[in-house]
Amino acid sequence: MSTETPLDLKKTVNLPKTNFAQKANLSLSEPARLQKWNELNLYRLICQSRAGREKFILHDGPPYANADIHLGTAMNKILKDFIVRSRTMMGFDAPYVPGYDCHGLPIEQHVERALEKKGKKKSDLSVETFRRICREHAENALKSQTRDFKRLGILGEWDNPYLTMSNHYEAETARMFARFVERGYVYKGARPVYWCIKDQTALAEAEVEYHQHTSPSVYVKFPLLSDPALIDPALAGRSVFVLIWTTTPWTLPANLGIAVHPDFEYAAFEHGDEVYIVANELVEVVAAKCGLGPTPNVIARFPGTKLDRLEAGHPWIDRPSLLMVGDHVTLGGEADAETELDVSEAQKKSADSKAGTGAVHTAPGHGHDDFVIGKRYGLEIYCPVDNAGKFTPDVAHFTGLNVFAANDQIVDFMRERGVLLFSEKYEHRYPHCWRCKNPVIFRATPQWFIAMDQVHGELVEKDEDGRDRTNFTQNETDAAPPLRDAALAQIERVNWIPAWGVDRMRNMFKGRPDWCVSRQRVWGVSIPVFYCAKCTEAVADPAVINHVADIFERESGDAWYTHDASELLPPGYVCKGCSATEWTKETDILDVWFDSGVSSIAVLENRQELRWPADVYIEGGDQFRGWFNSSLMVGIAAHDRAPYDTVITHGWTLDAQGRAMHKSAGNAIEPDKVIKQSGAETIRLWCASSNYFDDMRGSDEILQRVTDAYRKLRNTARFALGNLHEFDPGRDSVSEVEMEEIDRWALAELDRVLAKVARAYEAYEFHNVYHALYNFSTVTLSARYFDIIKDRLYTFAPRNKARRSAQTALLRIADALARTLAPILVFTADEIWENLPAREVQSVHIAEFPKAGAQSHDDLFATWTLLFEIRDEVLRALEEARVAKQIGSSLEAKVTISAFRETLSLLRKYEKDLRYIFIVSQVEVVEGSQSITVSRAEGAKCERCWNYSTRVGESEAYPTVCERCVAALTEIETTD
């Protein structure tokens, strides 16, 4: 090279160069990348690349195909995507088949409302037409949800999701009902279930929510009809009343008994001519409440058992009310706490009950505990309330009245009759319908049930040691265990994350009543049962049900409505009871939770790429009552096993103050908007940055922090990529032993972070993945390593081995960042991957996680920890010098550092590296008591590298540069 033409020094500096832009522009680049993946058929490529590998199955809990997705739905799917992608990158064959829950009340209601707007009624249409409209509605909703999920970067079999309304799925649902019948779990009976009087249907446990509700709280006296002397001689000849307390006066017309606890002590106290019986502990409280004097005169005390089977009279109806003993009675008020199963709900409830008498009004048609004790005492399951929640003609004075409207009238009526001692308004948590938000009632109607404790109609009662008391034997060929016992055993062997899940699920199953699976609706899978038109015998025969299921498979569940019974039954089917051949069809459909519970069988067992059971289920905490629950029962009925090995629960999405998000409250974060503003990556990174085992907070401010974090991660990758632009790994890589020590240190740090990330992915702790990668990027890389190697990368001759050493490290770092970020930042990781100088596969999503090196780096860490401690002190001293205007850039500084002994020898050993580590022009190490002195660097500023040197100007060829740059320029010239 001739020195005659002036050399453009800037051109000899290796400035970073990459197509990986600083500004991500995600709202545009993400759709383009999705398009590219689509053309590539990325999902198939991944599956093919994992063929024959060990399977990992995450089974998708189907979202309801009704509304658009919100932040919570997005978060749920993104967490699933994290799991599927991370297991894929661990090397598993992890297919993901998304699903949709398509049947059920919310869609029926939606369609009904749409019809109303057009001035039509549901009853104007045939069932087939109504179902067709419901089906279309679900199809549209799931199409739009699919579009949104894909936009979020969720990868899966979107062209073939499972739909609970598909022919095959409907057939499998019917077959699973046959299986429950076959194993003896199904019965039809009248027992109280949650009932919505607005929607006129039974509701599942999972379909009620608890809200504050004001009810009348009443104390009512029931006259004792039996001889009071049977209780205690002191009561002989007295006018005795048992006092009860209730918050549902409307259930009093259905009262058939009063329950007391066998082990509590009861007391009879005088007031005027009358004597009242309440629990001994509550005498003062009740007397005070009812205005019966400050010091009640107790004339007898006796155990609850003394009252067993005596008779009281209904307060106004000419009918006895049987006294019974039961363990469910408490002193804390709402003993018949409408079978609330959720632990936290139950705790909330117990806190607000301070009322009660210890004698519980019992209406077997209107309460779970009432039903159980009523059955035991042979009471009728009496329910004089119709589907619309109105009293039947059986109830004099109140016929036709809505039960909630009747409450006040009944209170007034009792007051007039003199049977009411006290009433007031009472605030308590009360079950409401999840759809229409109205308070529900407990009501006994004929329903189909799946028994928790019975098999083939036989109650499997336990004695005190937990042994079966009936003659049910476990070693029959198809002996089915009682569902509750089997479920409780399975719950113990499932891995619950977080660990409290096991208690929650155990409590759920300990307390749950029989599963009411019938619904009085039409948009669902019909219960494939026939009734003999002559003798009304019900045919619930597995063979017949499977025959019907085959028709569903061909024609969909609509067949139940488009065919006569005779066309659905096997040819020539006759009634076993009376040999008649005329049949009617059951009109109820199955609970949607039965539908979705079947998914493990209908999907996992029926698709070749999947397998039963699943490795993992992950959903929100509401699914302990819902999908986790029904899936477990289906798994037991099908294969005596839980359909999952691990169940993960995620929290809710809340605003920054911890409140639920509502569009109307203005605090909702809409995924759509965020995607338009800053891309799906922002939502994905937010999901990873929060600990999803707790509730997840979201707000504009929080999202802004996430966007900032994204930019830092992006810049880290960009620095690495920019400095690799002419690096050919095959040609230029430096072997580890030949690398500069700090480059080896950076790789050792990478190894450490990879091990941490691997552990976090393994444990589904994505927030720990995020924190490890974020800290590595911002602290280890940006603030330390990159700062230090900049001079080497920019000013050394391009092919200088020391520069190649840094590039070798940068390539491994960029490659590892792309792979470890891939499950989370799906778009950005692939973009990093594309900009690497070499790739083994065309998309990072086909690649596997990098493996951490096995060798120990303890010595390296020990040395560099010390060096970085000294560096931190030097940086502080430089900052002080800058503030004192002694220096501007750190390259204007010379640092003199003095130390003794080990520190001195360490500094001496690294003396020539220290200027690079501190990013100053000169460092002098001297022996002496520990100190750091900053002075102005000696010599002149090199025009090329901006370092100061006393040797600038030594070269005639390059008069404005330092001796290092002279060497670099000479090297460039000779190697060009």
Give contact residues for Zn ion (rule: CB under 5 A). 196, 198-199, 433, 435-436, 532, 534-535, 537, 575, 577-578, 580, 942, 944-945, 961-962, 965
Distances (CA, A) of 154 to 59, 79, 98, 815, 823: 14, 10, 10, 22, 10
- For residue 715, report the phi and psi dihedrals to the nearest 5 degrees: -65, -35
Min dist. Cβ of residue 661 to Zn ion (A): 23
Min dist. Cβ of residue 579 to Zn ion (A): 7
Min dist. Cβ of residue 372 to Zn ion (A): 26
Shorter beta-carbon distance to Zn ion: residue 93 or 199: 199
In terms of DSSP H, where are the helices of 294-398?
A: 343-351, 368-376
In terms of DSSP H, where are the helices of 421-541?
A: 483-493, 501-511
Shorter beta-carbon distance to Zn ion: residue 532 or 925: 532
Shorter beta-carbon distance to Zn ion: residue 396 or 538: 538
10 Å CB burial of residue 292 (0-12, 13-18, 19+) is: buried
Min dist. Cβ of residue 409 to Zn ion (A): 24
Contact 466, 475 (CB under 8 A): no
Q: Is 332 helix (H, G, I), strand (E, B) or coil?
A: coil
Min dist. Cβ of residue 435 to Zn ion (A): 5
Min dist. Cβ of residue 537 to Zn ion (A): 5
Distances (CA, A) of 882 to 324, 868, 889, 918, 923: 88, 20, 8, 14, 17
Contact 629, 508 (CB under 8 A): yes
Shorter beta-carbon distance to Zn ion: residue 15 or 351: 15
Question: Which residues lie below 8 Å from residue 930, measured CB to CB, with a gap of 6+?
Answer: 898, 899, 900, 903
Write the Ramachandran bin of 310: left for phi over 0, alpha for psi from -120 to 50, otherwise beta: beta
Min dist. Cβ of residue 966 to Zn ion (A): 8
Shorter beta-carbon distance to Zn ion: residue 453 or 537: 537
- For residue 311, report the phi and psi dihedrals to the nearest 5 degrees: -120, 135
Min dist. Cβ of residue 108 to Zn ion (A): 11
Encoding tokens for residue 499? 């660990």
Q: Is 701 helix (H, G, I), strand (E, B) or coil?
A: helix
Encoding tokens for residue 297? 């005169």
Shorter beta-carbon distance to Zn ion: residue 108 or 655: 108
Min dist. Cβ of residue 437 to Zn ion (A): 7
Shorter beta-carbon distance to Zn ion: residue 298 or 436: 436
Shorter beta-carbon distance to Zn ion: residue 193 or 961: 961
Min dist. Cβ of residue 199 to Zn ion (A): 4
Tokens 């001195």 locate to 904
Min dist. Cβ of residue 522 to Zn ion (A): 16
- For residue 148, report the phi and psi dihedrals to the nearest 5 degrees: -65, -40
3-state secondary structure 129-177: HHHHHHHHHHHHHHHHHHHHHHHCCCCCCCCCCEECCCHHHHHHHHHHH
Shorter beta-carbon distance to Zn ion: residue 198 or 639: 198
As a whole number of Å, the CA-based R_g of the chain is 38
Min dist. Cβ of residue 439 to Zn ion (A): 9
CA–CA dist 77, 154 (Å, integer): 7
The answer to whether the Cα torsion of 473, 478, 480, 481 is positive or negative is positive
Shorter beta-carbon distance to Zn ion: residue 534 or 801: 534
Shorter beta-carbon distance to Zn ion: residue 314 or 964: 964
* Nearest Cα to Cα of residue 222 among 414, 356, 410, 367: 414
Shorter beta-carbon distance to Zn ion: residue 243 or 433: 433
* Nearest Cα to Cα of residue 817 among 787, 853, 781: 781
* Nearest Cα to Cα of residue 647 among 504, 444, 803, 449: 504
